[in-house]
Amino acid sequence: MGTSIIEQLNKTRYNLLKWTTIGWGIWYGTFILKDVIDNSTIIQIAFWVGLLGWIIFAINLVKVLKLQRELKWDQKAREALNDELHQLNLHKSYEFGFWVVLSVTIVFVTLTSFVQISSQLVTKIILYFAVLSYLVAGLIYNRD
Amino acid sequence: MENYELTNQIKVQRAMKNITQEELASHIGVTRKTINTIETGKFVPSTILAIKLARFFDIKVEELFTLIEK
């Protein structure tokens, strides 16, 4: 496999990560918004925006899985794309995600001492930030 | 290890061989970004990768990478 193809695949992977992040941010963000806002107009807008986000997220997730499946048969390209810098960046992204989850959890533990928040909402928000922070960190560490 | 600085001769060796970062990356089996970050000292490669690079340039690892005491 030629160099330009590996660089092209690397760029494709970065773009997929970028759109997956955008999709997740919009979809799950609006999904949470519906739980905290009472205004029916905003909820309706949030539904359509969220649907758009879900479509972006789902399409890109499928593309990521497709790319992974294609790379399964090309060991040289797979190894080059998942080289040690990429592995290090993955670990750093997980680490960043961990600290974000820990921080958000601490914020909620503190908040719930003063106000009552539904456990379902708290779980959704923690999940939202966990995935988002991991994806955003991945984007930052892997940018060219 | 904060008192030490790792420098390398990759850029010099590349110039001598007249190859781009992308071409070197292809030979070693990594991405161009990995070569770039090693070259600029942002990323310290593993021993395996360091040996691969040294072998490619046909020099010793110690000649390619130098540990300098600050």
Chain B interface includes A2 (CB < 8 A): yes
- The sign of the CA dihedral B37, A63, A6, B52 is positive
Question: Considering chain B, what percentage of its residues have pLDDT values greater than 90?
Answer: 87
Over its length of 144 residues, how does chain A's per-residue pLDDT go in tens digits?
455 788 888 999 999 999 999 999 999 999 999 888 888 888 999 999 999 999 999 999 999 898 888 888 888 888 999 999 999 999 999 999 999 999 999 999 999 999 999 999 999 999 999 999 999 999 999 987
Return the H-helix or E-strand segment holding B70.
Answer: none
pTM for the predicted model, two decimal places: 0.86
B6-27: burial string, b at 16+ Cβ within 10 Å, e else: eebbbeebbeeeebebbebbbe
User: Would the CB atoms of B23 and A4 count as touching at under 8 Å?
Assistant: no
Given the DSSP bridges, would you call strands B4-8 and B65-69 parallel, antiparallel or unpaired?
antiparallel
pLDDT digits (tens, 9 = 90+) for B10-35: 999 999 999 999 999 999 999 999 99
Name every residue whose Cβ is closer than 8 Å to that of residue B30 and which is 6 or more positions away in sequence.
Answer: A80, A83, A84, A85, B49
Residue type, A100: V
Q: What is the ipTM of this complex?
A: 0.88
User: 3-state class of B68 per DSSP?
Assistant: strand
Whose CA is closest to B35, among B11, B68, B64, B54? B11
The number of C-beta contacts closer than 8 angstroms across A and B is 44
In total, chain A counts a number of residues equal to: 144
Distance CA A8, CA A74 (A): 15
Q: Which residues does chain B have within 8 Å of residue A10's beta carbon, measured at their own beta carbons?
A: 31-33
- The dotted CATH code for B4-69 is 1.10.260.40
CA distances to A10, A17, A94, B53, B65 from B12, in Å:
26, 34, 35, 13, 12
Strand partners, B68: B5
Name every residue whose Cβ is closer than 8 Å to that of residue A11 and which is 6 or more positions away in sequence.
Answer: none
A19-43: burial string, b at 16+ Cβ within 10 Å, e else: bbbbbbbbbbbbbbbeeeeeeeeee
Nearest CB neighbour to A81, from listed B22, B23, B31: B31
Most B CBs within 10 Å, among A9, A14, A84, A142, to test the B interface: A84
